[in-house]
Amino acid sequence: MNILENRYFQILACTLLIVLTVFIAVLINEKSQPSENNLVTITGTGEVYITPDVGVINISVRTENKEVKNGTEENNKKTNDIIAFLKTKKVEEKDIKTNSFNINPVYSYEKDTGKRSLSGYEVNQSLTVKIRDTSKVGEIIAGATERGANDIGELKFIVDDNEKIKEQAKKIAIENAKNKAKDLEGQLGVKMIKIVNYSEESYTPSISSYDAYNTGARLESSMKAVSAPEIQTGQNKIISTVTITYAIQ
C-alpha cells in the first residue's frame, strides 16, 4: 500500500468516526428529551387585593362661541382656573396632562331647505389628572365643575407602583402550582422530574370607568355651587397566573 492509499484510508476512517459520534450523540439526546407523552402542564393562580393609592380622572372644558378667538380665550381661562385650583389641592404639575385640544365648527340647518350654515365653533380641552390623595377626589370633582368643567368622567383608581404586589401574586401562583404538582404525583403515581417550560402573566381585571360628573351642558356661571360626591376607592385585585410544564416518569 503506497503513501497515497494509506492517506485515503486514514481520511475515510476519520470521517466514519465523526459520523458515528454524531449519530450516537443524536440518539443520546433524543433519549434524554422527554416525549410529549411524558409531559404534564400545571397552571397556578395567585390573587392579591390592595387598596389603590391614586385616582385618575379626565376633566374636560367645552365652550361654544361664534368666533374662534373668543371661544379659545374663554376655554383657556376656564382650563387655567381649573389647573390653578388643582394645584391648591396639592396636585403636582407632573400629574396634570393635556390629552386633547380640539376646535370644531358648529353648523345650523334651516328646517325648510336643509341648508347648512356655520353658526360658530366648539373648543374642547381635556386634562388627565392623577390625584394622589384619594380623599380629595370628590372635592376636586366639585371644584373643577364650579370653575367651568362640563365633562368629568372615566374615574378609576390604580396602584401607582404595583410591581411588589405583582411579585406577591406570582409567589402565591407558583406555590399553588407546586401544590397541584404534589397532589398529581400522588394521584397518578408519577414523579415530576424537572421543569421543561415556564411562563407567567400578571394583570388587573378591567373595571368599568365611572362617570364621576357630567353636567351635560355648559354651566351658566362658573361660581355655581356643586356638592362634592362621595367617592369610594374600594380595592383592586392583582392576579398572577403561572404555567409550568414538568417532565414525568
Looking at the fold, whether 70 and 2 belong to one and the same domain comes out as no
- Residue 81 covered by a domain: yes
Per-residue pLDDT of the chain (249 residues; tens, 9 = 90+): 555 556 655 666 666 666 566 556 545 555 555 555 689 999 999 999 999 999 999 999 999 999 999 999 999 999 999 999 999 999 999 999 999 999 999 998 888 787 888 999 999 999 999 999 999 999 999 999 999 999 998 899 998 888 889 999 999 999 999 999 999 999 989 999 899 999 999 887 755 444 544 443 333 334 456 667 778 888 899 999 999 999 988
Q: How far apart are CA 62 and CA 105, in angstroms?
A: 13
Looking at the fold, whether 60 and 125 belong to one and the same domain comes out as yes
Looking at the fold, whether 59 and 117 belong to one and the same domain comes out as yes
Q: How far apart are CA 61 and CA 74, in angstroms?
A: 10
CATH code of the domain in which 72 resides: 3.30.70.2970
Phi, psi (degrees; rounded to nearest 5) at 232: -105, 130
Looking at the fold, whether 63 and 114 belong to one and the same domain comes out as yes
- Residue 116 covered by a domain: yes
User: Edge-to-edge, what's the strand order for the sheet holding 96-109?
Assistant: 96-109, 116-131, 54-65, 151-158
Looking at the fold, whether 107 and 221 belong to one and the same domain comes out as yes
Looking at the fold, whether 2 and 59 belong to one and the same domain comes out as no
Which of 64-89 are b and which e, b meaning 16 or more Cβ less than 10 Å from the residue's Cβ?
bbeeeeebbebbeebbebbbebbeee
- The pLDDT score that the predictor gives to residue 223 is 43
Phi, psi (degrees; rounded to nearest 5) at 28: -65, -40
- Residue 186 covered by a domain: no
- The pLDDT score that the predictor gives to residue 218 is 37
- Residue 182 covered by a domain: no
- Residue 92 covered by a domain: yes
**Number of compact structural domains in the chain:** 2
- The pLDDT score that the predictor gives to residue 111 is 80
Q: How far apart are CA 248 and CA 40, in angstroms?
A: 7
Looking at the fold, whether 24 and 77 belong to one and the same domain comes out as no
Q: Please report, as a single letter, which amino acid is at residue 27.
A: L
Please identify which residue in the block is written with the cell numbers 387655567: 80
Looking at the fold, whether 121 and 14 belong to one and the same domain comes out as no
**Residue 19 domain boundaries:** 1-33
Burial of 171 (0-12, 13-18, 19+ CB in 10 A): middle
Q: How far apart are CA 128 and CA 57, in angstroms?
A: 6
Q: How far apart are CA 41 and CA 31, in angstroms?
A: 21
Query: Are the C-beta atoms of 178 and 234 separated by less than 8 Å?
Result: no
- Residue 200 covered by a domain: no
Q: How far apart are CA 7 and CA 11, in angstroms?
A: 6
- Residue 245 covered by a domain: no
